[in-house]
């Protein structure tokens, strides 16, 4: 998306969003040939559908994009992403009476819909003379802000989509360093046996069997006097399940098990690029959960940074272990807010599906703010309870905590309750994200996805704004 697009002097092609109940009125106003064209093509203004109207000499005079019904628009506000993905090369602009929020969401849908991940395709290189489809920044929309948001989403998508043979802990560290260098942030990394010296034993235990050394990536940015916000992201770059080996079908998408780490890096890019008035810290425990002679075993009891002992009843419940040490470390600084993001449980997908990440917090005001921010950003999330009656499920017989309660019920809730034991004082929210779009949707191509980050950004913008 740009302020000026296309060939010098070229006229941007107008895009008209057409609500289903306004279609007949619009067709009645069109020249006869165009009205006949609309009817002949069976255009019904269904949400995201598109039809080009012919002009003189075979040119395109205008594109009609279906805006559907009000209920459909509330469900799918990035609808322009459908047309953006298939739009012929050229320059476009939105026309019509759109509110600032509608124009912004349409423009963001366009930008997110243009994403491609084709680095492994042999014919992916642009050819001479190729021209992208581009959308002029709508009036009243901050194109720079939207560009930073889209870029952050793309960072996350690229990291998740990259296969594990090229996105291990070392590569995730390099990605964090690139983002830090761009924004003048600082990065410290604790690697391998140094994790034990730094009292990060659970991160070490999960990752010690991997081909690359486990590590904690610690990025910091901002002014010392600003409120501190810490983001924690699960960075399990591949999850075999450990000795509790996953079946092949369950292992197929495990390159995305670092989706929480990828998401907080994309969000950090947005925060730093927008210059929000906060002091940011990003903690990513980056490991591979592998099988080798020194892999942790079912039945082992491990002691965490916080001093709580954990009985390992399933080595495939490793994400909460690495997060536990990182959350304990985050709490020691007593920040104004701690947010963790993790591809943590299949139970969350069973409960809410792939598109709706649950979040957990016992801070009622924070929950209300997040819900409002989610609606504003068109980035869906849903609150689930930290149900205290299930606390006993995470308490085994011989240790303080059980990493994999038996019974199969409320798995996302018991995982959140486990994490809560490692957070002291600071307001905290946990997101159990999927990090993946299994079926292409408007603005969301199939593949890695940046979930909940835009909702969190809207919350942080409301709280901390930008620089003076």
The answer to whether the beta carbons of residues 418 and 131 sit under 8 Å apart is no
Which of 85, 320, 421, 454 is flagged as catalytic?
A: 320
Q: 385: part of which helix (H) or strand (E)?
A: none
Query: Could you tell me how far CA 93 lies from the centroid of its own chain?
Result: 28
The answer to whether the beta carbons of residues 355 and 426 sit under 8 Å apart is no
* Residue 441 DSSP SS3: strand
β 301-303/215-221 pair status: unpaired
**Which residue, among 94, 136, 93, 138, has the nearest Cα to 1 in the 3D structure?**
136
Q: Cα separation of 85 and 79, whole Å?
A: 11
**Which DSSP letter does residue 306 get?**
T
Q: Cα separation of 437 and 370, whole Å?
A: 22
Radius of gyration of the chain (CA): 24
Task: Read off the tokens for 284.
Answer: 């990513």
Q: Is 246 annotated in the active site?
A: yes
The answer to whether the beta carbons of residues 381 and 431 sit under 8 Å apart is yes
Which of 16, 62, 145, 246 is flagged as catalytic?
A: 246
Q: Cα separation of 67 and 85, whole Å?
A: 16
Which residues belong to the active site?
246, 320
């Amino acid at each position: 998306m740009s302020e000026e697009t296309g060939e010098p002097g070229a006229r941007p092609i107008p895009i008209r969003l057409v609500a289903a109940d306004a279609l007949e009125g619009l067709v009645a106003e069109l020249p006869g040939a165009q009205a006949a064209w609309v009817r002949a093509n069976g255009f019904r203004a269904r949400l995201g559908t598109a039809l080009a109207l012919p002009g003189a000499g075979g040119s395109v005079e205008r594109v009609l994009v279906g805006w559907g019904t009000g209920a459909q628009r509330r469900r799918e506000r990035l609808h322009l992403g459908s047309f953006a993905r298939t739009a012929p090369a050229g320059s476009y602009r939105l026309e019509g009476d759109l509110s600032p929020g509608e124009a912004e969401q349409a423009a963001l849908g366009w930008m997110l819909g243009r994403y491609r991940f084709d680095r492994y395709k042999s014919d992916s290189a642009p050819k001479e003379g190729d021209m992208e489809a581009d959308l002029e920044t709508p009036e009243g929309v901050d194109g720079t802000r939207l560009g930073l948001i889209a870029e952050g989403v793309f960072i996350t998508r690229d990291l998740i989509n990259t296969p594990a043979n090229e996105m291990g802990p070392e590569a995730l560290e390099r990605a964090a360093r690139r983002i830090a260098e761009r924004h003048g942030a600082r990065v410290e990394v604790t690697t391998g046996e140094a994790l034990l010296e730094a009292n990060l034993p659970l991160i070490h235990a999960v990752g010690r069997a991997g081909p690359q050394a486990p590590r904690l990536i610690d990025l910091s940015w901002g002014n010392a006097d600003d409120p501190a916000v810490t983001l924690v992201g699960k960075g399990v770059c591949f999850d075999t399940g450990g000795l509790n080996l996953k079946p092949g079908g369950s292992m197929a998408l495990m390159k995305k098990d670092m989706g929480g780490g990828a998401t907080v890096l994309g969000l950090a890019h947005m925060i730093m690029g927008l210059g929000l008035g906060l002091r940011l810290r990003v903690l990513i425990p980056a490991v591979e959960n592998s099988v080798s002679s020194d892999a942790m075993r079912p039945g082992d009891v491990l002691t965490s940074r916080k001093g709580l002992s954990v009985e390992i009843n399933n080595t495939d419940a490793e994400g909460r272990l690495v997060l536990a040490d990182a959350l304990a470390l985050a709490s020691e600084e007593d920040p104004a807010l701690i947010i963790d993001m993790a591809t943590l449980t299949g139970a969350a997908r069973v409960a809410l599906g792939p598109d709706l990440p649950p979040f957990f917090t016992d801070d009622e005001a924070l929950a209300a703010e997040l819900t409002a921010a989610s609606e504003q950003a068109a980035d869906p999330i849903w609150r689930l309870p930290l149900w205290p009656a299930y606390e006993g499920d995470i308490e085994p017989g011989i240790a303080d905590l059980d990493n994999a309660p038996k019974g199969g019920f409320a798995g996302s809730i018991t995982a959140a309750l486990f994490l809560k034991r490692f957070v002291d004082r600071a307001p905290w929210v946990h997101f159990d994200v999927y990090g993946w779009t299994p079926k292409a949707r408007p603005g969301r191509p199939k593949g890695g996805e940046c979930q909940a980050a835009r909702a969190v950004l809207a919350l942080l913008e409301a709280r901390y704004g930008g620089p003076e």
